[in-house]
A and B are shown apart, each in its own frame.
Chain A
């Protein structure tokens, strides 16, 4: 009787763990952030407009080139000239 109860508990625990893992995996999939390089204000607005669509759980994040390290290193004033 006790053994059967233990098996039931174990089975229940396993099911809950599996469901939690599936939910976690879904969350991870939804959090796939795609960094999209932009230059102009219009580019940025386009990314913002496309983002709520979240097709397939993809989240879009606009990244102005001026903020990229390689550009900031070579052209420190790029931000003011590009935006």
Chain B
């Protein structure tokens, strides 16, 4: 059970904005109300300036955590660096790669080691939190990053019993208000993205 669902079930919180819809999808006790922000996973490098410069047989570091790894592979697929099996779904693995024109060599690392891999690897896929901790901003430093409307946008979630409550509608409206829209752009400079 996810962090948000446990805290919601324990009535420690009334709502959560800390997780994405995919993490909450399998639980009928939680209700996904609306997306809030997307923390984009990005592709970073220190040796090259654009994704078209990724060298043949270059090493690519992927997050070891399964969800982040799937997101990284889908992003590489999106930029045409690899081709994934059509049936791989939203959580592909390295074994689902069916086309690798640059013969990239993949290896997985724990989140804490990803930033250090920038020194040795041609390309490193980093979730937002890892990049942020390393002082990297996706909009400024990433060679490629996820779109705001990926399925992993964080969502406002509440207990299923509260789904139609008036306060939930008001809370959703507060997160989608014009000042919040301005705040997201001004504070995060597109490194945290708005999916609504």
Interface residues of A, Cβ cutoff 8 Å to B: 32, 34-40, 42-43, 45-47, 49-58, 60, 63, 65, 68-71
Q: How far is the CA of A51 from the CA of B173 in the complex (A)?
A: 11
Report if B171 contacts A (CB, 8 A).
yes
Q: Using Cβ atoms and an 8 Å threshold, which residues of chain A touch B179?
A: 49, 52-53
Q: How far is the CB of B127 from chain A (nearest CB, A)?
A: 11
Task: Tell me which of B8, B17, B174 contacts A54 (CB under 8 A).
Answer: B174
Cβ–Cβ contact B7 & A70, under 8 A? yes
Tell me which of B76-84, B97-105, B183-191 binds A. B183-191
Interface residues of B, Cβ cutoff 8 Å to A: 3-4, 6-8, 10, 12-18, 36-37, 39, 129, 132, 154, 166-167, 169-171, 173-175, 177, 179-180, 183-184, 187-188, 192
Cβ–Cβ contact A34 & B171, under 8 A? yes
Q: How far is the CA of A36 from the CA of B180 in the complex (A)?
A: 16
Task: Tell me which of A38, A40, A56, A65 contacts B166 (CB under 8 A).
Answer: A56
Q: Using Cβ atoms and an 8 Å threshold, which residues of chain B touch A51?
A: 174
Given A50-B180, A53-B179, 20 more pairs with CB closer than 8 A? A36-B16, A37-B3, A37-B4, A37-B8, A40-B39, A40-B129, A43-B154, A46-B175, A49-B180, A49-B187, A51-B174, A55-B173, A56-B173, A63-B7, A63-B13, A65-B7, A68-B10, A70-B10, A70-B12, A71-B7
Q: Using Cβ atoms and an 8 Å threshold, which residues of chain A touch B169?
A: 56
Residue of A nearest to B154 (CB): A43
Residue of B nearest to A51 (CB): B174
Residue of A nearest to B39 (CB): A42
